Structure 1
Amino acid sequence: MQRADVEKARRERWDRTKPAGVSAQGVVTAQHYSAADAGAKVLEEGGNAVDAAITAALTLQTVEPWMSGLGACGYMQVMQPNGDAQTIEFTGRLPAHLDMDVYAPADDGAVFFNGNAISKGGANVRGFTSVVVPGAVRGFATALAQFGTIGFDRAIRPARDAAAAGTVVDWHTTLAIGLGHGEMRADANMQAVFQPGGKIPAPGAVLRNPALAVTLARLHDAGPDDFYTGATAAALVADLQAAGSTITLDDMAAYEARVYPSVPFEFAGHTVFTPGDTSGGSRLRLALGRFAELFGTQGEVGPKFYADFATALKYAYSEEKRPLTATERDKDGSTTQINAVDADGRFATITFTLFNRFGAYAMSPATGILLNNGMAWYDPRPGRINSMVPMAYAHNNMCPVAIAGGGRSVAVLGASGGNMIVPALAQITAMHLVAGMDVADAVSHPRIDAGPAPVVTVNVDMTDAEIAAVAALGPVRAAQTEVMPRPFASPAMTGRRGDLFVGMPDTSYPPAAAAIVVSG
């Protein structure tokens, strides 16, 4: 590929940089600065990294509601100062009863972008029938109870206050709503909140969701169990069932977050931890293991680094090593990422999502909760890895990573971006541990994207020699890291820089930021 062809992919003609957050007292990164600030405030008050990360995660629903919220699902890792790591898995779960007549594949054989069959009338991809039991509230409550120091009321307070005040629209919010404006018009409650007066809001407008503000206030006062067994659960289930969902109060009450030791993998003199088999962890371990065999565990980023990673990622995503799930063909998930570290060196990392942008494009009118479309994680056809089975947890690409070494915690990282998540995290891990890059440099450095598709995506900011080394292995396409569309994942990382901690947000996500605790 000639440089002239590479440069044709450069559409945004400006440089994006972001400052890393550096502090001895703690750092929080999030995809919106207000969420990062809310987490850092908790650290300033004496809370730990778990408290800060969950506070930031709950706040995000008031500033990027198309990504996350009370209706979301995901994973969290908590790493203690000595390097021990635990996973809190709160991914989506199917109800105990499924009406397979509702979810039967469409007669035309249509498939979703991830390869799963689309049900008749799109029942598994849009609307109330596409909702799975959400795990975020129980996951966060479980993590706070086992690893945190504050109550759920303190963690949800910034979200409660922000919802009461309303969301001020910026240009990125206008873009997100504009991209989904057609789908959300099928839901009168969504349209009233996100398109008041039937128009896409311009920057400066204030969006209000009174029902969500009431729900957040109720959860603040009554506690997280109210979401699964109390007034919030009753109102949410009534809305779901009125619109065709089979989720019951028993399904809500039975939901459990799973807590277990994170899965360890030895790489470059460190232990890399991932969540379990429903996550992208197995692919990440395969990719890093093969890369170490090809490249070794020490060396600079250059042509051989990228070529060996292209080979390693193709190996990791081969059907021979592990059969692909439909989600591993998904580049369109809308996920969010939070990382935190406290003064003691305790780290926390959260990746969670509504699945698609704005999830199911359905809002519970009684609660104001934007609902996930997690049913699309499953295939209505029987006999598949991710077939619809009552009470099954979802497989997906999310993969928050924790790294330990030398008897202490080292770093955490994660990303949004569907099946681009694992390739990004594997490369950043190697850039940090193998090439010795600082956290900020590793997150910002150009990457490739490779997976089950035959074409490898190369970044226009790679050198000609680096691109040529990848192109020698097979077809490539050039792409620029840009705001929209996103040809690469959106990662963030928090780690150590000598005696200090450093957090780096994704540079392509406009409001993403690192917030620090100032000593003294």
Structure 2
Amino acid sequence: MIQSNVAPNGMVVTPHHLASSSALAILRQGGNALEAMVAAAATIAVVYPHMNGLGGDGFWLIIPPTGDPIAIDASGAAGSLATVDKYHPQATIPFRGPQAALTVAGTVSGWQLALDYAQEHFPTSLPLSTLLADAIHYAELGIPVTASQADATSSKAAELSDLPGFSDIYYPNNRAPLAGERLRQPDLAGSLKILAKEGLESFYRGTLGEKIATGMEQLGMPITAQDLSEHRARYKTPLKVEHSCGTVYNLAPPTQGLVSLAILGILDRFDLAECDEIQTIHRIVEATKLAFSLRDQHITDPKDIDVDLQQLLAASHLDSLGQQLDTEQAAAWGEPLLPGDTVWMGVTDQFGYSVSFIQSIYHEFGSGVVIPKTGILWQNRGAAFSLETGHPRCLAPRKYPFHTLNPAAAKLKDGRTLVYGSMGGDGQPQTQATLFTRYVQQNHPLQTAISAPRWLLGRTWGNASDSLKLEGRFSEETYQGLRTLGHRTERLAPWSEAVGHAGAIVRHPNGLVEGASDPRSNGSAAGY
């Protein structure tokens, strides 16, 4: 049996072991889960640059030892210059370049709001310079390029190599770096030093913000200094679904947390505990199709939503959706899904707090645009906007784009607290449902639930096919059984990044904490 890690005090799970080490060091110094997560977020922004960074967005789900969870939405709105007319006659917003970098980067504001929360709930705090020290060190000294980063840099060279500032950092010696080579980011180290000295507010309303605004104007990005200055992260009330095994929480719009919760709510109408592998996959896939229909109808900028999304998770509505699921035949499918690169991370501390966190720049390396003299790679989340007049996600200045990001948590009836999540765009809710089903309902060990082969309904990176893609470790019997049910299947590599980098932490009723990381990533589950 594949073993997870168990510790008596705290646990950290991230998709890069250096980020796990940074967070664990904070916990060992007496820091809390929120401080540890800021340290992990800063480090992974340096060491996993193709998947996240300071120029991206973030979302927090904070689970206190008592009381209701609280969410932090640290996503950014479209710039005040980002109008539909600016992009016409284009039919769609580009995925790369300065015009793709059209939304404010919110993740650093989320770090600040999380630290504000920590100061209100903990008697002591660690200095920001301590939380950012590892990130600064790795940016200056250089990071070991992972195989994942090397593959992304090499495969996307045609899209990225000519973009402003990109090659100076990510194509040293005029080529994509190889796995195991050292990659330095001195300008990014300088930006982190400014944050450590002036505070995180500097990103938006200080010296660093001034440098960013100057660079954005120089590049012709549709974001202004005022857009930066006006940005704030926001507390949110999470959505939840009452499941037979407990209460499951996720993020409200502009994220697709509704989808993840709806999948679990629909599946709770069926007996998955006794399902074989074929029926488990089939039912999760079919519930995914039903849940995505909710997303396409309702999720956009929160101010433009005119329905109570929590009511869509009510038992009566989930009963209705469940009645549409055919356990013997796959429903028609052909809707375009969204790929994306993201990092999920979890921390549980000795004080009883847990954090489920996601940080992303959307596509690998985001827009590919590096803000001059800052080393900050900017996200392309604004590519999720439509340019179609009347579309619910039609671009408008200061409008929030749709987000695939959705960190999850659950309070189970047996006393366990679970924080979990995954990278992978539209794969996130599918992977979350798979982990929850395997671990909670089918009683697989935590690490087995993550390491076992997974699947993805929809596109992988650079692949327009919306088939059901399964890792090659599934048996031929499973492939054939799914085809018999009407699924159009394709085979992925045995350990494919396409199905995401998942992770989970469980706090057990006896106080012990258990963590599992994804062998598809460069991560670790580290406890103390």
| Aligned-pair CA distance for 1:400 | 0.6
Structure 1 runs (4+) greater than 6 angstroms displaced: 451-454
| Aligned-pair CA distance for 1:43 | 0.7
Decide whether aligned partners of structure 1 residues 67 and 419 sit closer, same or farther in structure 2, where only a CA change above 3 A counts. same
**Kept in 2: contact 1:300–1:434 (CA 8 A):** no
Q: Choose the corresponding residue for 2:388, options 377, 381, 397.
A: 381
| Aligned-pair CA distance for 1:33 | 0.5
**Counterparts of 1:44 and 1:74, CA distance in 2:** 25
Q: Compute the TM-score of the two structures, normalised by the length of structure 2.
A: 0.85
Decide whether aligned partners of structure 1 residues 470 and 342 sit closer, same or farther in structure 2, where only a CA change above 3 A counts. same
Structure 1 segment 76-115 matched on structure 2, within 5 A:
76-82=60-66, 84-106=68-90, 109=91
| Aligned-pair CA distance for 1:83 | 6.0
**Counterparts of 2:493 and 2:65, CA distance in 1:** 34
| Aligned-pair CA distance for 1:369 | 0.8
Q: Choose the corresponding residue for 2:405, options 398, 406, 409.
A: 398
Which residue number corresponds to residue 440 of structure 1? 447
CA offset digits 1:154-180 (Å, max 9, x no partner): 322211122121223344433232123
Q: Choose the corresponding residue for 2:506, options 471, 495, 517.
A: 495
**Kept in 1: contact 2:253–2:299 (CA 8 A):** no
Q: Choose the corresponding residue for 1:472, options 481, 484, 505.
A: 484
Decide whether aligned partners of structure 1 residues 325 and 202 sit closer, same or farther in structure 2, where only a CA change above 3 A counts. same
**Kept in 1: contact 2:417–2:508 (CA 8 A):** no
Decide whether aligned partners of structure 1 residues 172 and 446 sit closer, same or farther in structure 2, where only a CA change above 3 A counts. closer
| Aligned-pair CA distance for 1:128 | 5.3
Which residue number corresponds to residue 320 of structure 2? none
CA offset digits 1:114-162 (Å, max 9, x no partner): xxx23xxx3x642255231000110111011103643433322211122
Q: Choose the corresponding residue for 2:193, options 213, 217, 230.
A: 217
CA offset digits 1:12-42 (Å, max 9, x no partner): xxxxx98633211111111110000100111
Q: Choose the corresponding residue for 1:133, options 93, 104, 127.
A: 104
CA offset digits 1:104-123 (Å, max 9, x no partner): 242xx4xxxxxxx23xxx3x
Range 308-317 or range 45-54, more displaced: 308-317
Which runs of 5 or more residues in structure 1 are unaligned? 1-16, 110-116
**Counterparts of 1:208 and 1:460, CA distance in 2:** 36
Q: Choose the corresponding residue for 1:208, options 158, 171, 184.
A: 184
Decide whether aligned partners of structure 1 residues 35 and 19 sit closer, same or farther in structure 2, where only a CA change above 3 A counts. farther
Structure 1 segment 122-201 matched on structure 2, within 5 A:
122=94, 125-127=96-98, 130-147=101-118, 149-187=125-163, 189-201=165-177
**Counterparts of 1:219 and 1:18, CA distance in 2:** 41
Secondary structure of the corresponding residue to residue 218 of structure 1: helix
**Counterparts of 1:240 and 1:200, CA distance in 2:** 26
**Kept in 2: contact 1:184–1:190 (CA 8 A):** yes
Which residue number corresponds to residue 50 of structure 1? 34
Q: Choose the corresponding residue for 2:237, options 237, 240, 261.
A: 261
**Counterparts of 2:147 and 2:439, CA distance in 1:** 33
Q: Choose the corresponding residue for 1:39, options 10, 18, 23.
A: 23
Which residue number corresponds to residue 317 of structure 2? none
**Kept in 2: contact 1:71–1:372 (CA 8 A):** yes
**Counterparts of 1:444 and 1:497, CA distance in 2:** 21
Which residue number corresponds to residue 27 of structure 1? 11
CA offset digits 1:420-440 (Å, max 9, x no partner): 111110121122221122321
| Aligned-pair CA distance for 1:375 | 1.8
Identity %: 23
Which residue number corresponds to residue 3 of structure 1? none
CA offset digits 1:53-78 (Å, max 9, x no partner): 22111101221111111111021111
Counterpart residue type for residue 32 of structure 1: H
Decide whether aligned partners of structure 1 residues 237 and 301 sit closer, same or farther in structure 2, where only a CA change above 3 A counts. farther
Decide whether aligned partners of structure 1 residues 240 and 310 sit closer, same or farther in structure 2, where only a CA change above 3 A counts. same
Which residue number corresponds to residue 525 of structure 2? 514
Structure 1 segment 232-271 matched on structure 2, within 5 A:
232-271=208-247
Secondary structure of the corresponding residue to residue 348 of structure 1: strand
| Aligned-pair CA distance for 1:409 | 5.5
Counterpart residue type for residue 160 of structure 2: M
Which residue number corresponds to residue 372 of structure 1? 379
**Kept in 2: contact 1:31–1:338 (CA 8 A):** yes
Decide whether aligned partners of structure 1 residues 438 and 301 sit closer, same or farther in structure 2, where only a CA change above 3 A counts. farther
**Kept in 2: contact 1:306–1:469 (CA 8 A):** no
**Kept in 1: contact 2:469–2:492 (CA 8 A):** no
Decide whether aligned partners of structure 1 residues 173 and 130 sit closer, same or farther in structure 2, where only a CA change above 3 A counts. closer
Q: Compute the TM-score of the two structures, normalised by the length of structure 1.
A: 0.86
**Counterparts of 2:132 and 2:276, CA distance in 1:** 42
**Counterparts of 2:181 and 2:261, CA distance in 1:** 45
**Kept in 2: contact 1:335–1:355 (CA 8 A):** yes
Decide whether aligned partners of structure 1 residues 245 and 506 sit closer, same or farther in structure 2, where only a CA change above 3 A counts. same
Decide whether aligned partners of structure 1 residues 282 and 171 sit closer, same or farther in structure 2, where only a CA change above 3 A counts. closer
Structure 1 segment 308-387 matched on structure 2, within 5 A:
308-318=283-293, 322=297, 329-387=336-394
Decide whether aligned partners of structure 1 residues 294 and 472 sit closer, same or farther in structure 2, where only a CA change above 3 A counts. farther
**Counterparts of 2:495 and 2:164, CA distance in 1:** 29
Which residue number corresponds to residue 59 of structure 1? 43
| Aligned-pair CA distance for 1:469 | 4.3
Which runs of 5 or more residues in structure 2 are unaligned? 120-124, 302-334, 460-464
Secondary structure of the corresponding residue to residue 293 of structure 1: coil
Tell me how many residue pairs correspond in the alignment. Answer: 484
**Counterparts of 1:479 and 1:153, CA distance in 2:** 47
Decide whether aligned partners of structure 1 residues 347 and 474 sit closer, same or farther in structure 2, where only a CA change above 3 A counts. same
Counterpart residue type for residue 482 of structure 2: V
**Kept in 2: contact 1:62–1:163 (CA 8 A):** yes
